[in-house]
């Protein structure tokens, strides 16, 4: 999904899947700052209640 940001830049919504419990966290990313396929990011998981590794899936990879 694409949305327009505050400064009229295009944002893509990336889905981050927790590697522990498979919870999904959507995060917007600027189109020019996309990461490679299978990028791993360590962010807080609301289900595990701690910081865990999440794998990024972009909207066009589904």
- Over the stretch 23-61, which tens digit does the pLDDT of each residue have? 999 988 887 677 777 889 999 999 999 999 999 987 666
Cα angle for residues 46, 17, 8 (degrees, 5° grid): 90
**16-28, pLDDT tens digit by residue?**
999 999 999 998 8
Q: Is the confidence at residue 62, as pLDDT, over 60?
A: no
Nearest to 25 by CA among 34, 35, 15, 13: 15
Residue-level pLDDT at 2: 62
Residue 16: domain span: 2-61
Number of domains in the chain: 1
User: pTM (2 decimals)?
Assistant: 0.75
| CATH number of the domain bearing residue 40 | 2.20.28
Residue-level pLDDT at 22: 94
């Amino acid at each position: 999904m694409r949305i327009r940001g505050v400064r009229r830049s295009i944002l893509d919504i990336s889905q981050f899947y927790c590697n522990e419990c498979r919870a999904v966290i959507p995060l917007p990313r600027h189109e020019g700052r996309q990461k490679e396929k299978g990028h791993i990011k360590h962010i807080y998981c609301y289900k595990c209640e701690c910081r865990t590794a999440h794998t990024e899936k972009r909207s066009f990879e589904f």
